[in-house]
Amino acid sequence: MASAVEELQKDLEEVKVLLEKATRKRVRDVLTAEKSKVETEIKNKMQQKAQRKAEALDSEKPAAVVAPITTGYTVKISNYGWDQSDKFVKIYVTLAGVHHVPAENVQVHFTERSFDLLVKNLNGKNYSMIVNNLLKPISVEGSSKKVKTDTVIVLCRKKAENTRWDYLTQVEKECKDKEKPSYDTETDPSEGLMNVLKKIYEDGDDDMKRTINKAWVQSREKQAKGDTEF
């Protein structure tokens, strides 16, 4: 059975074929948008697959590699709040007693589109929070952290000040965009493409319908030929 990524890659190839055949601007715009959407879905699924593989490899590491001084285990932080000002995006993480641990035990590593928070040896446990694919770039040099009573505040300095972030990460934005009224792709990755093509076909003139029919047949013949060549 083909994986979701393989199905999406087949959809992408089909969109590319149709895009090559299309001549009308409106049709090309729709197909170009669908091409970008499918490419984004493929990228996200590949990242998820790589992350799951990395986590699996980490879990297979022998206990002997862990330094004896390590205390407790690491808890992944999933609950947090955030807001923003003209210059900063602020992430609030509540951890009881965090203000009592040594300052060097609270570490934050920033990149232009991510940050990694690690709190060591808090009540016998380590706490980790990794946020990738921030919605917009941040200034690594201008970003920092603050430790308040039972709270760590991660301060991400906006690279473009006076701009509003509607979401913390690009993934959140894409998830929200998918929730907006659009073509239903919940059950099958191919359904969104099918609905796009159906709408173009129904709204198109006779020349457009003939173009789509020809491209569809050529795409299917090419796919069938590829499936039988072993």
Specify the CATH number of the domain 4-53. Answer: 4.10.860.10
pLDDT at residue 152, as a whole number: 96
What is the CATH T-level fold of the domain 74-170, as seen in this structure? Immunoglobulin-like (2.60.40)
Residue 195 burial by Cβ neighbours in a 10 Å radius (0-12, 13-18, 19+)? middle
For the chain, residues classed under CATH 4.10.860.10 are 4-53
Q: What is the pLDDT along the chain (230 residues), one digit of tens a residue?
A: 457 778 888 888 887 888 788 888 888 888 888 888 888 888 888 888 888 887 777 666 565 544 444 556 899 998 999 999 999 999 999 999 999 999 999 999 999 999 999 999 999 999 999 999 999 999 999 999 999 999 999 999 999 999 999 999 999 998 888 876 555 545 565 666 667 777 777 777 777 777 777 777 777 777 666 654 44
Residue ranges, comma separated, of all CATH 2.60.40.790 domains in the chain are 74-170
pLDDT at 188: 60
What pLDDT does residue 119 have?
95
Contacts (Cβ under 8 Å, ≥6 apart) of 57: none
Helices (H), the chain: 4-21, 25-60, 170-179, 189-203, 206-228
Q: Note the pLDDT of residue 145.
A: 96
